[in-house]
Structure 1
Amino acid sequence: MPAHVPDLTALTLLVAVARTTSLAEAARELDLSVQAASARIRSVERRLGAPVLQRGRQGRRSSRLTARGALLVEWAGPVLDAARDLDAAVTALRPPQPDADPVVLAVAPTVAEHLLPGWLVHLRAGPGGEVALLGGDATLDDPAGDPAGAVRDGAAAVGVVETGTALAGLHATTVATDDLVLVVSPGHPWAGGPGVDAAELAATPQITRRPGGGARGALADALAEAVPGVAPAAPVCELATDAAVRAAVRADAGPAVLPRLAVAADLATGALTEVAVHGLQTRREFRAVWPEGTSLRGTARDLLRIATGGRLR
């Protein structure tokens, strides 16, 4: 961890103090003693090098935030939100308990990595229910599974696929759309330029996911349509996750094409720069599928209502 980042419990405690205006009340919410809560606050102040709660006349710590403390609470929000997303996603990765009857999902990699955690957080905060991801024991070298096939075979109750075409034997509804984005480091020669065409992109070695992972297949299909008969250049390197690809691009190891969902934060902060690609269709549609002639019920229906923003047809 970075040297000056407080632990998640300390950040959660400080946010609770800001909301309740009481260190004692915040400690009760987190099932901590006041002494333990005070120790957590001291640890935050040691990392910050300054108080986060104001002191009274006798030097006693109050429950009023200092200006630094208030800023830390604001900046901690996205970190704690991400931790809640991760906690919900990790729960879906855990093997089901023997007496559990979870809804089994089969989803495309981009959906699992960038959309599913948020859906699971909303499910947990609302109706609840157990969800398990199909294929969690596969190795990273295995090709991506077929969510539609898993639903047809009965291995999964619901799938989320990356396609806009008809799916035989399945009901389908759109849950999200996204496009692929060419990104480079701010110091790359393409940064700030007029962009590239599909042929130049195909001829340029890129940082990619391993075969079957992330957006690699979608990019290959788009390039094959835009520049038929042209074989893409061999990749600079093949990595296991979008996070690893983003880190390599930030280190100026080369360009990469990733889902906008994966790079939105880096683009907003300027850590990565988007490059226009002319003549390439990169829009993608993600659709939830379930067996034709059936109706989703219980947790499966609740999850799909969340994924579709409250609608389900």
Structure 2
Amino acid sequence: MTGATLGELELLVAVAETGSLGLAARHLGISQPAASQRLRALESALGLALLDRHRTGSELTAHGALVVEWARSVLIARDRLTSGAEALRQGNSAPLRLAASLTTAEFLLPRWLVELRRSYPALGIGLAMGNSAATVQAVRRDEADLGFVETLGALPGELSWRTVASDRLALVVPPDHPWSRLDEPLSPAELARTSLVMRESGSGTRETLALVLETAGPLAPAALEASSTTAVKGAVLSGLAPAVLSALAVEAELARGSLVEVPLSGVDLRRPLRAIWRRGRPLTAPARRLLDLLAEGRPPDADLCEQR
């Protein structure tokens, strides 16, 4: 039996994360025939069937699920080696450059950075805040070592990513809005044809809502577009129109009763929060340490973290 290669293990992990051999191939920047050949080579090397293939996607076998967890450990060790070498070359003096979409930047990242400071008390950190599209571009242009986005959509092939937390969107209205007293959950079709207060184009929240409601029809024109979560909340509180926002962003208002969450039928408003970085470019030691902390579930919001 020959040994498995890192490229084969990386492909298997990508299949587990995307649920599709074709999507995994695109994520890694290789053709689907090459991905199929690479996976067959891995199964041959290990002497195990790792995937059940069917027309709608690929599903891990029981053996495959175990191998994925071991493969992740191998890939993390590989990344630690390369990031450690990079830190030695840089003398560990380079600041950590971060870019993050607003939900992550405002409600999660500050607490994560407190934990990172325990390992690097003198580390300089720069943070650029914007929507998910702006964060992706910052990482692609090498303006950030690590980015955090909140989108369900596909990411550019030159980026690597890992899900580090999860989030849920909530439809919210003031207590005197008619939707606050519905006897049954609101239908996706009614939500789609209602003018909402929305984030601007490029926002992960807006993109997620459009993807979730795409079968219910196009979204109605926005009652107001705003580039910040605070502005959207203010418009909803004033009674302008309902909005769909991260549950993290409206937690305090829901607890106080100044906003009411409206239940929706037949839609899943959960979304992953993903860390992204340039493929093939080793992460600095602080960036790798931050990813490791999130994988370990050590931040205060560990209940949100999905171990990958």
Give the TM bin, normalised by the shorter chain. 0.5 to 0.7
Pick the aligned partner of 1:151 from 128, 133, 139. 139
Contact 1:150/1:156, CA 8 A, preserved across alignment = yes
Contact 1:130/1:299, CA 8 A, preserved across alignment = no
CA-CA distance at 1:126 after TM superposition: 5.0
What residue in structure 2 maps to residue 213 of structure 1? 203
Supply the distance in 2 between the matched residues of 1:102 and 1:231 (Cα, whole angstroms): 43
Supply the distance in 2 between the matched residues of 1:101 and 1:235 (Cα, whole angstroms): 43
Which has the larger share of helix? 2
Supply the distance in 2 between the matched residues of 1:209 and 1:146 (Cα, whole angstroms): 13
Runs of at least 4 residues off by over 6 Å = none
**TM-score, normalization: structure 2?**
0.58
Q: For 1:73-114, what per-residue CA distance to the aligned partner results, in whole angstroms no more than 9, with x for missing partners?
A: xxxxxxxxxxxxxxxxxxxxxxxxxxx732112323322232
User: Within 5 A, what are the aligned runs for 1:127-138?
Assistant: 127-128=120-121, 129-134=123-128
In the alignment, structure 2 segments of 5+ residues that lack a partner are 1-92, 299-304
What residue in structure 1 maps to residue 102 of structure 2? 109
* AA at the equivalent of 2:98: L
Q: Secondary structure at 1:307's aligned position in 2? A: helix
* AA at the equivalent of 1:203: R
What residue in structure 1 maps to residue 30 of structure 2? none
CA-CA distance at 1:261 after TM superposition: 1.1
- Confirm whether residue 279 of structure 1 aligns to residue 266 of structure 2: yes
User: Within 5 A, what are the aligned runs for 1:106-255?
Assistant: 106-124=99-117, 127-128=120-121, 129-134=123-128, 144-163=132-151, 168-193=157-182, 194-213=184-203, 215-224=205-214, 226-227=215-216, 230-255=217-242
Q: Secondary structure at 1:277's aligned position in 2? A: coil
* AA at the equivalent of 2:292: R
Quick check: which has more Rg, 1 or 2?
1
Structure number with greater CO (CA < 8 Å, separation at least 6) is: 2
Supply the distance in 1 between the matched residues of 2:242 and 2:248 (Cα, whole angstroms): 17
Mean alpha-carbon deviation: is it higher for 230-239 or for 296-305? 296-305
Q: Secondary structure at 1:286's aligned position in 2? A: strand
Q: For 1:137-169, what per-residue CA distance to the aligned partner results, in whole angstroms no more than 9, with x for missing partners?
A: x8xxxx753544543443321122334657634
Supply the distance in 1 between the matched residues of 2:259 and 2:275 (Cα, whole angstroms): 31
Q: Secondary structure at 2:225's aligned position in 1? A: strand
**TM-score, normalization: structure 1?**
0.57
The percent of aligned pairs where both chains have the same amino acid is: 40
Task: State the aligned residue count.
Answer: 205
Q: Secondary structure at 1:105's aligned position in 2? A: strand
* AA at the equivalent of 2:175: P
Contact 1:206/1:236, CA 8 A, preserved across alignment = yes
Q: Secondary structure at 1:172's aligned position in 2? A: strand
In the alignment, structure 1 segments of 5+ residues that lack a partner are 1-99
Q: Secondary structure at 1:200's aligned position in 2? A: helix
Q: Secondary structure at 2:163's aligned position in 1? A: strand
Supply the distance in 2 between the matched residues of 1:252 and 1:207 (Cα, whole angstroms): 10
What residue in structure 1 maps to residue 292 of structure 2? 305
CA-CA distance at 1:175 after TM superposition: 1.1
* AA at the equivalent of 2:202: G
Q: Secondary structure at 1:117's aligned position in 2? A: helix
* AA at the equivalent of 1:186: P
